[in-house]
Amino acid sequence: MQSVLKYGLVLALSAALVTGCDGKKDAGGGPSGGGGGGEAPPPDNTVEVLPDAATAGTITITAKLKGAAPAMAPIDMTDAECAAAHVDTPALDESVVAGSGGTLQNVMVWVDKGLDAKYVFKAPSAPARIDQNGCVYKPHVISMMAKQALEVKNSDGVRHNIHATAKVNAEFNFSQDPKKTDTLTTASKAKTFVVGEVPIKVKCDVHGWMGAWVGVFKHPFHGVTGGDGTVTLKGVPPGSYTLKVWHEKYGTKEVQVTLKDKGAESVTVEFGE
Amino acid sequence: MPKPADPLSDTLYDMVSLNRLFFVSSILLIAATVWAAWQDYDRNWKHYQRDYNRIALERAEKERAAANSAINRLKKENAQVAELYTNLEAAKAAVAGRQADIDKLNAEREDHRGALEKALQKFQFDKSEADTAKQRAESAGAHLAEAKEKLEKLRKANSSDAASVESSLKGLEAHAADALQNYQEWSGKVNESKLAFEELNAKEVVALEAIEKIVKTREDAQKEVDRVEAELILVNRKIAKLEPSLSKTLLAMPGLDFIANPEHIEQDILPHFQEDLNFSTVGKIDRCRTCHMAIDKRGWTEKELPAVFRSHPNIDLYVGDNSPHPVSKFGCTICHEGSGRSVDFYTTAHMPKDAKQGEEWKEKYGWSPIHHFDKPMLPTPYIESSCTKCHASQVRVTMGEKVNLGRQVMEKVGCFGCHPIAGMENLRKVGPALNGIRHKVTRDWAYNWIRKPTDFRPTTHMPQAFDLSNTSDAEAQKKNTAMIQGIVEYLFENSELAHVKDAYPAPPAGDAAAGKKLFDFVGCVACHVAGDMNKAGTQYTDFGPNLSTVGSKLNAGWIFAWLKNPAQYFHYTSMPSLRLADQEAADITAFLLTQKHPGDFPNRKLPPVVEADVEATLLAFLQSSTPTKLAQEKVRAMSPEERLLDLGKRAIGHQGCFGCHDIKGFEKTKKIGAELTGSNATGSKDITKFDFGFRHDLLMGHTAGAYDRVAWVKAKLENPRTFDGGRFVEYAERLRMPKFRLTEEERDALATWVLSFRTRENIPVSHMRNLSHEEAVVNAGKTIVMQSNCASCHKVGLFPTRIAVSEEALPEIATARVYVARTILSDGRQVERVSADELAILRKKGVDILLPAGTWLFPQQITALLENQPPVTSVLVYAWGEAQIKEQVGDTKAPPFIVGEGAKVNPDWFFRFLKNPTEIRPWLADKADPGARMPTFGFTDDEASLLVEHFAVLAGEKFPFQYDPPLDEKVRGELVVRGKGVFERMECGKCHVVEGAKLTTDTPAPAFALVAPRIQKDWFAVWLRDPQSIAPGTGMTAFNEEQVKPDEVDALREFIWSLHKK
Amino acid sequence: MELPKFYTDLVNAVVSRAAVFVILSSVGLVLAMKYYRVLTKPKVAGPIGLGAAFLLFISFFDPQFKTVATLPDNVPIIMMVASVTFFVWVAFRQMALNDERLEKGLPPKEAEAGEVQKTFVWPDLVYIEFICLILFTVFLTVWSIALKAPLEQPANPAKTPNPSKAPWYFLGLQEMLVYFDPWIAGVLLPTMIITGLMMLPYIDKNPKGNGYYTFKERKFAISIFMYGFVVAWVLLIFMGTFLRGPNWNFFGPYEPWDIHKLEPLTNVNLSEIIYLQVLGVGMPRNWFIREIWGILLVLGYFVAMPGLLARFVPMFREFYKQLGMIRYSVFIVHLLVMGGMLIKMLLRWTINLKYLVGIPEYFFNI
Amino acid sequence: MAEVKAPEPPASSAPEPGKRKGSLLEQLWNGQIWTSIFRHGMPDTPRNRTLAIMSNVFLHLHPPKIRRSGIRMKYTWCMGGLTFFLFLVETLTGVLLMFYYRPTAEFAYADIVSLREDIPLGIMREIHRWGAHAMVITVWLHMMRVFLTGSYKPPREFNWNVGVILLVLTLLLSFTGYLLPWDQLAMWAVTVGTNMARATPVVGHEGPGASLLKLGDISLVHAGSDVRYALLGGRFVAPAALLRFYVLHCVAFPLAAATLMAVHFWRVRKDGGVSGPM
């Protein structure tokens, strides 16, 4: 019994510690992180130090794919209910998704070095979203800020478990009932990511093919390429930066960018074997 | 005195010049006396204290400025705080406005004061008189009673004395009556004077209360402000203590400094540690803090600070009040050695950590190694050699990284094979038995292997015994050859195995490719490296020999037999059985045979025996014990074969091969090396007993001093024959310690461990690291865990990594997940274990467990802990490095965590499993990955049950079992039914196999049929709610209270438990 | 700075054996006493003194010498040697002057009319004594400030220091241990030093030289005393301190004290010389027969020699007449022991003689 | 001696005891307190110079008048006086050291360390030690001077012998004090020194003749009963020896030396003062 007490205490404590609040239950209920008694996220008292909007510029990164894109293999879904969702169009493996005009989708871009340490950013109030739809994560790659809430949605009629194999942040792996949405905050039982870490693989242990990637950052200068293969980082203060460009299959590349006052820089990064 | 003409004209000496001489000599005397007094006064440590005070004051002033600005900022930013200050001002003004009233009240008090003090005095005097009268009255009464009693007795006895007693009785009665009356009178007076005093005093009280009432608002406001300024007030107090003042200067002046000198010796008196003075012992006194004034204070860590004023670098572990080794209890020199009573840089016997620091010290402090002191301080790199003084009971010293590594290295290379070492007597020999060598390798191989083992296997622990610095000249080489030939001859002639006739039978044909896969996955790689003969492997994969060249050494028959059953070849081998099927073993055999040595080693042959050399070598040995002529005759009388065999036997005895290998004929031979422990322990024996030979370069002075000990040990480990350098020594008399392949780090650690061998010091039991029963179990279990190399597959986690988390160290561990090793209380204390009773007491005091030992923490939880719990400034934990996390998280095929295994599985099952492992996770095996296999170690019952208890204790569980209240069958039946519903709702069957218990490679999770006998019921609830806290990375998903209601947990559990068919 | 090698080698070579050192010093003393009138002249003595001081000074550049000489307990020995040398000079200078006066028929300086005249103790004597004490106190204080009293490891019966030395003033006796058994070196010799000193007034019948410095009038007495004090006492202390190193081996002043230095062990007893080397037979089993030669020799030295001296040597004949049988015997035994010391040392150095009489059965060796 | 320093009183008005007159200083010199201590005027007349010596307990070691040669430094070297002075220095510093030093195996060494490290005026130990060495040297030089001037000759034969005993006592004082720090230097020097006592003929167990003293086959002189045992209170230098040496060093030898010194000085006077040509 001792061990039960012990572990119970740890769970309560870790919640209390991270939030710093006294553990009052959120009376409002509503969608709660990790299922079960969620707690109101603590008020974010962070005092923001933002770059001067007058001098800030933009950086546009375009990810290109060398040569022809490999064909996306269809996924063999062993779960009948999952398979049922893809009767018309088979689900495809999204590890390499080509965009329009030789560009590459699902490429994560972020400012890695060069950002002045004095800046402090608040996480946006809107949560980052990830949806389990047809036993596939949508989107396949997301980037978010540390302490930003994470909304995990299960649009399927089957139970999923969502397992974030974080190494620096707290790992979570909770079971999610069909047609349910959980919002993970810094206070919920399964916590959203609170420190920078990239990439975090998210998977479902029931459905081995399901996989998504999350990047967590301390600042807002990050993004994932969409169909046009570009990401635009806005409001970046002038300076010299090292950007990192990551793709699940092709790895990480570094780009140097120097941004002038109100400048606008464009960079193209090429991936491929 | 001018010389008068008369009558002193008869003086012999010229008085004027004598006067001058007298004047000069008097001046000199005064000067010398002043100089001596100044020398006496101006001690070095005072300079240190002054410097410290100056720096401390600067720091405190900085703190004050920070506190001030913090208050100012608060005033600006926080309306409430600002209000406090306005309140105070207002209250001050209000009180000032009523100053007239206060003055009036005070004037009234002053008017009354004379009468009041007089009345008080009268009351006190009257009271004293009354007390005296009372005592007299009591005494008179008692006398009277005594006399009466006596009279009574006399009357009864009809004594004639009665009359005289009776007459005196009257006087006594009168006296008693007087005394009583006197007492009553005084009592009355006391009452009066008391009344008078109280009356007057009441007026005083009224006046005071009135004043207090007026002032109260201001004082209350002041208190509020003080609360805001608490830190500032503290700093101000600190500054007042440090600030120079006239009185301090005066008290520190020579001549006055005996009164209450603010500069004084700081000492820790440690009567329980006895310093050995050979004839007697005396309690230790450590005066180190006289100069190292910040050693026990936190936060003195800046690089710019002089080293002498820094906090102890590991203040959570040593010196600090909350640490397990507070300075008040342990002092300094018990670990550091040196002269604790001294307060001078030289006489305290400081020792630099390396030659470079020595040079710096010479320049800075005029340092030189102290010659006349037997225990100079240990250079910091070797400081951990002191740990074992008190921690001898632990196989691995908590946090003693270096000394542990040293011990581990020694256990690995087997120094105890030749050197008797207390505490290591029962370790197994580190080398394989050679009783069956004939069936294993060829003579050619054996000869060349002994000659230079690293040529065949660069990573081997087998040391090189020949062709070393003192045996590499041409003459010695000839003898070396003869010796090795003799050894080979002896070994091969004396190898017989009961279960082998001529040779091992050839194994069935195997597939090398399949063997490679098996080798990689089935578990061989946990202990062995293959494919690269130069790869050293990690602490774990270096456990067994590197197999990259093994195909050039062994024959197929032997390998096959060995793989099938290692213990058959030699019974105490560490190699476990992997329960390989014949085909599997054949495949691996085939694979191992592909691991050929790439160089010319396989072609090297046993050179032809040169008779003359054999004879000469044999004579060299015989001559030392036999008269020369007799020896020659004896040699001549032997046949060449006999000579070779005899030489071989002598060579084995000389080199002590039997220390590491079982060799026939040497079962009872004594170890050949010097004892490293006991009265001549290396770490403490007289330095003059170390033979430095001609290695004068190792000496710091002209002759060896105690401070040269480290250099000797290190030189010996680096080149064991070095002290023969430059000497002419007979072949048979030369130093014979072989040379081990050790890295610089390993040698350093080994030196630390060897230096820890010292003659026993008188450490009281109260200061030893005594092991509780549980700790002893963990300790003993740890030995088996290490000997079985469990940690290579299972992340045992508890050792050997450690990180002391302090604010400075935080970034370092930001990427690690840590295991809290000590229970942390909310008042910042860290303790090993808290019993229920202790917890109850603590809770009454408002202290609770903040983090129980044995839990996993993520980095940000530690950060939060440090931020939100001011008393906790650091957490002492064992850490898991990033690499280990990566290995585990996201790899469901890794062998399971066994931290917490004791809480998870039933002891009975665990015991059976250790004895005879069965498959639990068949899904680990598929075509690409046959899956690791828990080997059969052949644990004895004792070992297995010790291991079970070990893990039970680690998990904080009771042993051997927990009470599991039996359930009413009916209740159970209901629960099972309900549980089945939950089970289906939660779709547990999607991953876990329920029926049939047939496990296949497709099964993603363990079969429930196996759960009941294996898993502890208590554990289930925790696992269900948060599996990741127990096993990071597991594919098991958490179920919250909405999914499985709290009251459904038991039902679900009972259902699962019911699935087990007995 | 380093001392030139030829110089250190030369000194080490000359002084590297006890025999050479003692014999050279003895010869030096004899020469000095022979030519004392010239040598004590300030013009001669001054440069010699300065030269010696210079040699001492440069010796400090040698690490070995510096190590030994600056040991706090060895500093007084240097002072002792220096002050003894200085005062020997002071005394002999006055002797030389007085002897010149005596030759001219004048009284010694101390007996001049003006000197014999008495004078008041106050203020002369009291004053100079007082100044003397003050200056000495200054000296002692400065010495104490400059040099810390030594303190080594706590006493440990299990660890014998090498070399282990007696307090410096007994080092002469410890040196004697090399040549004699402890009962002679440690008991007999010190006792005889004391008795010898005590009997001195009763055997020195020379009425001259009482109360003034003179060499001429008491050549014999002063020579014996100078030999006994300066060579057999002070010099041996110097030797024991600076030239005896580990294992009590003899080292040159600039020779590093190597703990492994070995000397061949080839000392023999007189009986071994006679029986093994000369006669070539085995050692007799009976100790008396074995040692009879040595016993005879020693007896001869102490019994026959006094008589022979008294009979044939004029000086001793004179002594015998003056002192009578008993006093003469006491005197001559002391004198012979003193001489015997030197003879035994010489025998050791020349023929490696260990004992004249060696009866270890009764701890009796001479 | 203070008188020597005192300024010359005005010559015109030579003070007479009892007259209250003149400056404050004069009044002091003529006052009852002063005259009760110093029973003579300024020592500038033969009478007063004689009185200065004779009425002072310390100075009356000296005769009022001595031969001139006895005052000459060149002749006396002042070595006897220095030896006596050093004896006083050793007494004084020794007494101070006794406040801090405990002659037991537990404390002896630790106390010396404390003297070295932190005890106020720990320099006393240095003065004591170096003073002892200096005393040995001065006493030798004194002996040499006395010999070289032939001053042992009649009538001073006895005093020479007293001097010889004092010389031995000086060495013994130094030797017993050598052990007290209880360090290696002390212990082994004393071990070497006392080892010789083993070989004392007859009464030392390794001395010639000792093996002859037997009752039956029981040896009477053995390591536990010989003269060295008596000296050390044990078979080797051990805590008992420390205490023995301490008592000898602090009580026995100083008393003996002081007594003999009194005899020595007294006999100097009685035998005709500092020697000179007869």
Q: What is the DSSP string of B815-847?
A: T-EEEE-SEEETTS-EES---HHHHHHHHHTT-
B884 CB-near residues (< 8 Å, 6+ apart): B795
Q: Is the peptide bond before C163 cis (omega within 30 degrees of 0)?
A: yes
Task: Confirm or reject contact between B65 and chain D (CB < 8 A).
Answer: no
Domain count across chain D: 2
Tell whether C131 and C21 lie within a shared domain.
no
Q: Is residue D276 part of a domain?
A: no
Domain range for A250 is: 51-271
Chain centroid, CA B441 distance in Å: 45
User: Contact at 8 Å (CB) between B653 and B665?
Assistant: no
What's the pLDDT score for residue A212? 92
Contacts of residues B302-310 at CB distance under 8 Å and 24 or more positions apart, as own/partner, are: B305/B55, B306/B51, B308/B48, B309/B51, B309/B52, B309/B55
Which residue from B815, B850, B1037 is facing A205, i.e. has the nearest CB? B1037
Q: Is residue D83 part of a domain?
A: yes
B836 CB-near residues (< 8 Å, 6+ apart): none
DSSP code, position C213:
-
**Is the pLDDT score of B741 beyond 60?**
yes
Tell whether C97 and C129 lie within a shared domain.
no
Domain count across chain C: 3
Domain range for C134 is: 120-149
User: Contact at 8 Å (CB) between B259 and B251?
Assistant: yes
Tell whether C333 and C241 lie within a shared domain.
no
**Is the pLDDT score of A12 beyond 60?**
no
Q: Is residue C255 part of a domain?
A: no
Burial of B349 (0-12, 13-18, 19+ CB in 10 A): buried
Measured between beta carbons, which residues in chain A are less than 8 angstroms from residue B885?
167
Can you tell me the distance from the alpha carbon of B290 to that of B49, in angstroms, rounded to the nearest whole number? 7
**Is the pLDDT score of D5 beyond 90?**
no
Indicate the range of A32-41, B157-166, B578-587, C224-233 predicted with least confidence.
A32-41
Counted residue by residue, chain B has a size of: 1062
Domain end marker among C201, C217, C248: C248
Q: Is residue A12 part of a domain?
A: no
User: Contact at 8 Å (CB) between B962 and B1018?
Assistant: yes
A81-85, B748-752, C111-115, C322-326, range with greatest mean pLDDT: B748-752
Query: Is the torsion defined by CA of A98, A100, A101, A103 positive or negative?
Result: negative
* Cα of D68 to nearest chain B Cα, Å: 7
**Is the pLDDT score of D160 beyond 80?**
yes
Tell whether D190 and D231 lie within a shared domain.
yes
Q: Is residue C202 part of a domain?
A: no
| pLDDT band for position B625 (cuts 50, 70, 90) | confident
Task: Confirm or reject contact between C207 and chain D (CB < 8 A).
Answer: yes
What would the pLDDT profile of B678-733 be if each residue is shown by its tens digit? 888 999 988 888 999 889 899 988 788 899 999 999 999 999 999 998 899 999 99
Is there an interface between B and A (3+ Cβ pairs < 8 A)?
Answer: yes
In terms of CA atoms, which chain D residue is nearest residue C183? D199
Task: Confirm or reject contact between B206 and chain D (CB < 8 A).
Answer: no
Is there an interface between A and C (3+ Cβ pairs < 8 A)?
Answer: no
Which residue from C116, C136, C206 is facing D276, i.e. has the nearest CB? C116
Is there an interface between B and D (3+ Cβ pairs < 8 A)?
Answer: yes
Q: Is residue A28 part of a domain?
A: no
Q: At what angle do helices D239-247 and D157-179 cross, to 10 degrees?
A: 140
The pLDDT of D114-129, averaged and rounded, is 91
- Side-chain-side CA neighbours of residue B490 (13 Å): 23
Tell whether C80 and C227 lie within a shared domain.
yes
What's the pLDDT score for residue B850? 67
The pLDDT of B365-380, averaged and rounded, is 90
What's the pLDDT score for residue B831? 63
Q: Is the peptide bond before D46 cis (omega within 30 degrees of 0)?
A: no
Q: Which has the closest alpha carbon to D234: D190, D178, D183?
A: D190
Task: Confirm or reject contact between B589 and chain D (CB < 8 A).
Answer: no
In terms of CA atoms, which chain B residue is nearest residue D66? B12
Q: Is residue D107 part of a domain?
A: yes
The pLDDT of D21-28, averaged and rounded, is 80
Q: Is residue C215 part of a domain?
A: yes
Residue A61: phi and psi, rounded to 5, are -115, 135
Indicate the range of B415-419, B498-502, D236-240 predicted with least confidence.
B498-502
Decide: helix, strand or coil at residue A57: strand
Can you tell me the distance from the alpha carbon of A153 to that of B52, in angstroms, rounded to the nearest whole number? 62
Can you tell me the distance from the alpha carbon of B412 to that of B425, in angstroms, rounded to the nearest whole number? 14
Tell whether C361 and C302 lie within a shared domain.
yes
Q: Is residue C328 part of a domain?
A: yes
Q: Is residue D78 part of a domain?
A: yes
Q: Which of B954, B990, B1026 to mutate to test the interface with A (most CBs of A within 10 A)?
A: B1026
Burial of A22 (0-12, 13-18, 19+ CB in 10 A): exposed
Measured between beta carbons, which residues in chain B are less than 8 angstroms from residue C62?
none
The pLDDT of D264-272, averaged and rounded, is 91
Measured between beta carbons, which residues in chain B are less than 8 angstroms from residue C259?
688, 703
Tell whether D129 and D8 lie within a shared domain.
no
Tell whether D55 and D164 lie within a shared domain.
no
- ipTM associated with this complex: 0.76
Q: Is residue D27 part of a domain?
A: yes
Burial of B264 (0-12, 13-18, 19+ CB in 10 A): middle
| Class for the domain spanning B96-228 | mainly alpha
Structural fold of domain B391-420+671-766? Cytochrome Bc1 Complex; Chain D, domain 2 (1.10.760)
Domain range for D89 is: 69-270
Q: Is residue D275 part of a domain?
A: no
A181: domain CATH number is: 2.60.40.420
Q: Is residue A119 part of a domain?
A: yes
Q: Is residue C189 part of a domain?
A: no
Indicate the range of B824-838, C18-32, C206-220 predicted with least confidence.
B824-838
DSSP code, position B249:
H
Q: Is residue D112 part of a domain?
A: yes
Q: How many CB atoms lie within 10 A of CB B532?
A: 12
Domain count across chain A: 1
Tell whether D57 and D73 lie within a shared domain.
no
Tell whether C85 and C125 lie within a shared domain.
no
Tell whether D48 and D81 lie within a shared domain.
no
CA distances to B139, B208, B289 from A261, rounded to whole Å, are 106, 72, 58
Integer-rounded Cα radius of gyration of chain B: 43
Q: Is residue C175 part of a domain?
A: no
**Is the pLDDT score of D155 beyond 60?**
yes
| pLDDT band for position B81 (cuts 50, 70, 90) | confident
What's the pLDDT score for residue C103? 93
**Is the pLDDT score of A25 beyond 80?**
no
Q: Which has the closest alpha carbon to C159: A55, A68, B705, B716?
A: B705
CA distances to B340, B345, C170 from B478, rounded to whole Å, are 55, 54, 56
Q: Are strands A211-217 and A197-203 parallel, antiparallel or unpaired?
A: antiparallel
Tell whether D167 and D137 lie within a shared domain.
yes
User: Contact at 8 Å (CB) between C112 and C94?
Assistant: no
Q: Is residue D277 part of a domain?
A: no
- Contact across the interface for D154 and C201, Cβ inside 8 Å: yes
Which CATH architecture describes the domain B969-1058? Sandwich (2.60)
What's the pLDDT score for residue C87? 96
Which residue from C127, C137, C153 is facing B18, i.e. has the nearest CB? C127
Tell whether C12 and C75 lie within a shared domain.
yes
- Contact across the interface for B860 and A18, Cβ inside 8 Å: yes
What's the pLDDT score for residue B299? 82
| D neighbour chains, 3+ CB pairs within 8 Å | B, C
| A neighbour chains, 3+ CB pairs within 8 Å | B
What's the pLDDT score for residue D12? 45
Q: Is residue A27 part of a domain?
A: no
Task: Report which of residues B162 and B656 the model is more confident about.
Answer: B656
What would the pLDDT profile of D104-121 be if each residue is shown by its tens digit? 999 999 999 999 988 888
B/e letters for C197-232, b = 16+ CB within 10 Å, e = fewer, are: bbbbbbbbeeeebbbbbbbbbbeebbebbbbbbbbb
**Is the pLDDT score of A132 beyond 80?**
yes
Tell whether C101 and C126 lie within a shared domain.
no
The pLDDT of A186-215, averaged and rounded, is 84
CA distances to C36, C84, D149 from C88, rounded to whole Å, are 11, 6, 12
Tell whether D177 and D229 lie within a shared domain.
yes
Q: Are strands A197-203 and A160-164 parallel, antiparallel or unpaired?
A: antiparallel
Q: Is residue C333 part of a domain?
A: yes
Which residue from A4, A17, A195 is facing B1022, i.e. has the nearest CB? A4
D251 CB-near residues (< 8 Å, 6+ apart): none
D77: domain CATH number is: 1.20.810.10
Task: Confirm or reject contact between B1029 and chain A (CB < 8 A).
Answer: yes
Which residue from A168, A175, A194 is facing B1037, i.e. has the nearest CB? A175
Q: How many CB atoms lie within 10 A of CB A241?
A: 23
Q: Is residue C234 part of a domain?
A: yes
